[in-house]
Structure 1
Amino acid sequence: MLIAQVTDIHLGFEPDSPGEFNRQRLDRVLGELAAMQPRPDLLLATGDLIDRGDKASYERLREAFSGLPFPVHYALGNHDERATFREVFPEITFDGGFLQYVVEAGPLRLIVLDTLEEGRHGGAFCEARADWLRARLDEAPEARTLIVQHHPPVEVGIPWMNTDPAEPWVERLAACLRGRSNIIGIVCGHIHRAISTAWEGTIVATCPSTAPQVALDLRPIDPDCPDERNLIIADPPGYALHWFNGRELVTHWDTAEDHQVLARYDANLQGMIQHMLAERPGA
């Protein structure tokens, strides 16, 4: 099974500009995913779908995702606005006022969480959402389950983008997942970088953004002393591919750009490929 992920699209960063930079970057990624072989079984769009919560940007988002050859499942981030999203996507069902739902995807069960608290940059996960998640997990305690959300529940080392592990929502989420051996991973966005780490017995993987990326700078930051460090950089638009091989979830990250090719599978390299494959059991 192949799951594609895009995140932190930020349409509308340039208001009223249908040809904006972030839309061009998104279109490059979606074009690459749609033409990919094997084709993804589904696409996760994990929040910060637009930049300012406005209806026109959500309408452009809907247009951008229309006609894709696979279903799209949305999560909300801190730049999103629930009421406006619901207005433009009325077919998507909210549960308890939150965009949280289950996707039964063949060998995997996906649980999409809502970590948005409007007006707050960081994540949130209240007791009502925790009760909902526990109920969904208890429904299928043996099902291989992937958690999908915008905010990572881990400290990533980039000070101005970090999640503080002492934030109450982090422990609330951890308590829901602790001791459950069927959770195969948590995929997130928010950081605008490709990052992975272990947390609460599972892997957390964040997807690079289709919008510009966050600069990698692990130095402490002083909110009272601007130091001219790089914050946002125009690296190529990124995406993730999560491949489930029946045992593990394997995450690949890539960028939508013209890669410089140094070798191709031609007659000159056929012998090498044959030798490598012949080494494997059952060859």
Structure 2
Amino acid sequence: MIDFKLNQDRCIQCGECVADCPVQVIAMEDGGYPSIIAENNCIGCQHCLAVCPTAAISILGKNPDESLAIKDAFPTAESMSTLIKGRRSVRRYKQKSLDETTLNTLLETALHAPTGVNARQVLFTVTRTMEATNALRTALYKRLEELLSSIPPEEDTMLSRYMRRLRDADPEYATDFILRGAPHVLIASSSTKAPSYDKDSLIALSYFDLLAQSWGVGTVWNGMLTWCVRDSSPDLAARLGIPEDHKIGYAMAFGAPAVRYHRTVQHSPANINVINTF
């Protein structure tokens, strides 16, 4: 049941909910008021709740008065542009866990990221404390040693060659080249039953990445951790509590940065292909 409710005292019969419903399950009936005509086709996106100018619609048991107001609340185009251009991969971290409020806000907000057909099957697997991260770090290096010892050099992939080179240069692992000393890790996965499972987790992690920067939290997209958990040792995923039917999209390390960047970099011109006619 989608529990669609209309407050007729608030409804101005503008029809915005009908026009904006992506699956066309709302129609102006019942005396010119919106009503549901195909409940089973609803994907639960809540566009109707969000687009109603008078907060007259409730769906899925949600109270529109408890939603955040958007007017004048978005970042400016300039500040958003600076955020995107100024975002850096952080590889130097303070050795402390993030506070629970910050961590919970980042995780819960980032999972508002869009998913295909609003499936919302993305799972964030996270270490909440440095102690948990350090335990994982120990297990990762033990497994890395086993992997590099079992894979003949001639069968190395690009990433395993890179890991072998780092290991050979630092056999005692004095430098944490996998997690970069970060106090937290985040692994994004999605159920393979979701229509766009292979994309959804990457989108969610991208949202987390930019949101974290705005909170002063550093991140680094972690290909080496992804390789260890997803590609080379999938049993680690099970030990981390990731469901068997989930596909890992990517992993990230994050935490309070021990470095501060003062300006954006200046990349080469963007690669853009313009379609003038078709």
Alignment TM-score > 0.5, same fold:
no
- TM-score normalized by the length of structure 2: 0.27
Greater relative CO (CA pairs within 8 A, separation 6+): 2
Whichever of the two has the greater Rg, that structure is 2
Determine which structure has the larger helix proportion and give its number: 2
Determine which structure has the larger strand proportion and give its number: 1
- TM-score normalized by the length of structure 1: 0.26
